[in-house]
Amino acid sequence: MYLLGERPAHADALINRLQSIPGQWLQDLSPCAPVIELEATDNLFAQVPGDQLFMLIEGVVHGCVAGRALFYWQEGDLLGLQQGEEWNDCRLCSDGALRLLPYRRGEVLQHVHAEPDRTEQFLSYLLGQMALLAHAVAELKPREFRSTNGFKRVEAGAMLIQQGDSADHVFVLIDGHAEAFVDGHKVGDVPRDEIFGAMALFTGEPRNATVVTSEPSTVMLIPGDQFLSMIRSNPKIAHSLIKGMARRIGQLNRQITHLTMRRD
């Protein structure tokens, strides 16, 4: 069983190793029936005996969970271990013809446990499958909005960002309030739950404003590379960032309008 989509090099190496293991178990075991030939199917297990395992000798089988294709099996893989109530939501299907070599499930398990080496191979195969599933969960689960640098409690008057500095972190104001200044002039407020400090990270330019707390506050510090990764994987963070930027642009527009009217 392998993951659809792009995979890191270590996952490919694991897949290559796992693919050769079932053939080693079954080397001295006779099939229980001739090769089964099937056309394209949207439910493989509905067409084959439920007490058998199958060596896939031709074709590709896809595993769909909740209607979503997540895994695939190819030549040399063993099908049928994924049966039972725990797998009711997983359906195996194929877009093309298949050739399966059947073995009785009980005979395969007895054969595996008859020799310590085969038992070790079986356990290695199962652990490898678990590792692939863990990789799938890691890829599909949205990254949590947490910082590796943690939280920082500061008093009123603490300088969180200094104008002209390089940008290596993004900040979230968890509790409290802060103000933004450009060339010593206040240009806006930073309220609770605001994400700030991201603009310079995106542009690669120095910080264009100084941010100072106006009351005791708690701040989350997020390394720049981690923040960019979270933006790509979590639309909620991107939405919050865009909302904050839009609010600050609105503040600047109002200030520009006010200054223009005063000059007139």
Give the CATH number of the domain where residue 44 resides.
2.60.120.10
Supply the pLDDT for residue 63: 84
Same structural domain, 70 and 192: no
Using CA atoms, how far residue 162 sits from 117, 194, 209, 239, in Å, is 64, 17, 7, 25
Length of the chain (residues): 264
What is the model's pLDDT at position 31? Answer: 94
96 lies in the same domain as 157: no
Strands, E, within the chain: which ranges? 2-3, 36-38, 52-58, 61-65, 68-73, 78-79, 90-93, 98-104, 151-154, 159-161, 169-175, 178-182, 185-190, 195-196, 210-213, 217-223
Q: At 220, which helix (H) or strand (E)?
A: strand 217-223
- Using CA atoms, how far residue 145 sits from 37, 83, 124, 194, in Å, is 50, 36, 35, 13
Is 146 part of any domain?
no
- Amino acid sitting at position 227: F
**Separation of alpha carbons 179 and 217, rounded Å:** 12
Q: Among residues 140, 172, 193, which one ends one of the domains?
A: 140
User: Is the same domain home to 8 and 39?
Assistant: yes
Number of domains comprising the chain: 2
Residue 145 within any structural domain of the chain: no
Q: What is the pLDDT along the chain (264 residues), one digit of tens a residue?
A: 555 555 666 667 777 777 778 888 888 899 999 999 999 998 888 888 888 999 999 999 988 877 777 778 888 888 888 766 766 778 888 999 999 999 999 999 899 889 888 888 888 888 887 777 776 666 655 544 444 456 888 899 999 999 999 888 888 888 899 998 989 888 888 888 778 888 787 778 898 889 999 999 988 888 888 777 766 666 665 555 555 555 655 555 555 555 556 655
Residue 81 token pair: 């271990």
- The domain containing residue 248 runs over which residues? 151-263
Question: pLDDT at position 174, please?
Answer: 86
Same domain, 69 and 180: no
Same domain? 185 vs 232:
yes
Helix%, strand%, coil% for the chain, nearest 5: 40, 30, 30
Same domain, 6 and 136: yes
Q: Are residues 119 and 158 in the same domain?
A: no
CB 155 within 8 A of CB 216: yes
The confidence score (pLDDT) of residue 15 equals 75
pLDDT at 147: 44
The pTM score is 0.51
User: Tell me, what's the pLDDT at 153?
Assistant: 87
- Of 97, 119, 140, which marks where a domain is finished? 140
Asked if residue 84 and residue 16 are part of one domain, the reply reads yes
Based on the domain organization, do 113 and 169 belong to the same domain? no
Q: Report pLDDT for 145.
A: 43
Q: What is the DSSP letter of 8?
A: -
26 within some domain = yes
Domain final residue, candidates 74, 108, 140: 140
Q: What pLDDT is attached to residue 80?
A: 86
pLDDT on residue 222: 83
Let me know whether 113 and 175 are in one domain.
no
Question: Given the structure tokens 């897949």, which residue do they identify?
Answer: 15
Q: Do 182 and 91 sit in the same domain of this protein?
A: no
Report the distance separating Cα 226 and Cα 233, nearest Å: 11
259 with 170, same domain: the answer is yes
